[in-house]
Amino acid sequence: MRPRRQREMVGLEWRSCLEKGSKAAMGCAPSKEGRALNAECYLRYSTEKFYNDAGGAEQVADHGHGNL
């Protein structure tokens, strides 16, 4: 049995989801790490770099929020 595919989110749905997730994750500060998960998206906060930028990946803008 194949897993059911979730519908893709668009425009304002992504923005809303990430805004909610960032508020939840920022509630973890000043802890070292935090995570926010809901049905649509997942957001992770850390004071340490947790992503791999090797191979010329685009640099992520932090907008003053650390590694969010």
Report pLDDT digits (tens) over 6-28: 567 677 887 888 888 777 777 77
Position 28 in a domain: yes
> Would the pTM count as exceeding 0.75?
no
Position 29 in a domain: yes
> Which range of residues forms the domain containing residue 20?
11-46
Mean pLDDT of the chain: 67
Position 24 in a domain: yes
- Cα separation values, 65 from 3, 9, 10, 55, Å: 35, 24, 24, 24
Position 1 in a domain: no
Position 26 in a domain: yes
Which among 55, 52, 54, 57 is positioned nearest to 67, based on CA atoms?
52
Q: Can you tell me the distance from the alpha carbon of 19 to that of 17, in angstroms, rounded to the nearest whole number?
A: 6
Position 56 in a domain: no
Position 42 in a domain: yes
Total domains in the fold of the chain: 1
Position 54 in a domain: no
Q: Can you tell me the distance from the alpha carbon of 9 to that of 50, in angstroms, rounded to the nearest whole number?
A: 25
pLDDT of 57 reads 43
Mean pLDDT, rounded, for 31-45:
71
